[in-house]
Structure 1
Amino acid sequence: MPGPAFNSVAWFEIGSNQPEEVKQFYGRLFGWNFQLNTNTPGVNYHAVVAPGAEQPSGGVWESEGKFSDYAIFYVFVQDVAATVERAEALGAKVLMAPVTDAAGLTFARLEDSTGQHFGVFSAPAQ
């Protein structure tokens, strides 16, 4: 199965101080299942797997009161650092500089020129 196309929305994330309620709500509404992801130390994260899907398409980040609740989309890109640099040149602000987790996934969060939050990510080299 081929992966997502570059520059397409390929992941979402819900950050919540009430992760169990979020998982229960969306699990009941859409039939989503949740898998614990331990690739980033110190982060409580559950990948979202939709019914019939082979791979996760999103996640729930347990904020533990450390940040406000949010929902965000992520765009799959070839090079996170280069995309962040291009976004800044277009007026974006970096909210979270690029981070690479234990599985080799690299991601960053930005605010576009109108104040909307979004993320970019790339997969580890194969």
Structure 2
Amino acid sequence: MDNLFQQHGAFSWGELMTTDPTAAKEFYQKVFGWTMEDMPMEGMTYTVVKAGERSVGGIMPIPPQAKGESPAWGNYVTVEDVDASVKLVKELGGKILVPPTDIPDTGRFCLIQDPQGATISMITYTPM
């Protein structure tokens, strides 16, 4: 894992939640020349997006808990400690939309909303 994933405050991952992952993969492969690596997960397939040899994001079906949401790209920003950052978000008037959650073999993330309504995910990666 390169230093970008470990740098507090750096954008480190982009993720598309979509109604048609197959069509999205075909589109982005052609537009950006990305390669794709499917990873079966419980109840779905998660596709890791690669620019050259570097993993830069993912594509996944919209999960049941987000049913009815429009397809959208989301960004992850690395933080040193998701749980500590959640406390700061709350103190500053933000909301926690998805509480800190472990992603096996990856790290711990959450989805926050700033006081103006914009959303972004925070993640602390598991040391490799």
TM range (shorter): 0.7 to 0.9
Structure 2, unaligned stretches of length 5 or more? none
**Map of 2:58 onto structure 1:** 59
Secondary structure at 2:3 match in 1 = coil
The RMSD of aligned alpha carbons is 1.9
Paired residues, number: 123
Closer, same or farther: CA 15–22 of 1 in aligned 2, 3 Å: same
Name whichever structure is richer in strand by fraction. Answer: 2
Q: What fraction of aligned residue pairs are identical, expressed as a percent?
A: 28
Unaligned stretches of 5+ residues in structure 1: none
1:17-56 to 2 correspondences below 5 Å? 17-38=19-40, 41-50=42-51, 52=52, 54-56=53-55
Please report how far the alpha carbon of residue 37 of structure 1 lies from its aligned counterpart in structure 2 after TM superposition.
2.8
Instruction: Give the secondary structure class of the aligned counterpart of 2:22.
Output: helix
Which structure shows the bigger proportion of residues in helix conformation?
Answer: 2
The whole-number CA distance in structure 1 between the counterparts of 2:31 and 2:47 is: 17
- Stretch moving more, 61-70 or 29-38: 61-70
TM-score (norm 1): 0.86
Residue equivalent to 1:76:
78
CA distance in 2, matches of 1:45, 1:67: 19
| TM-score, normalised via structure 2 length | 0.85
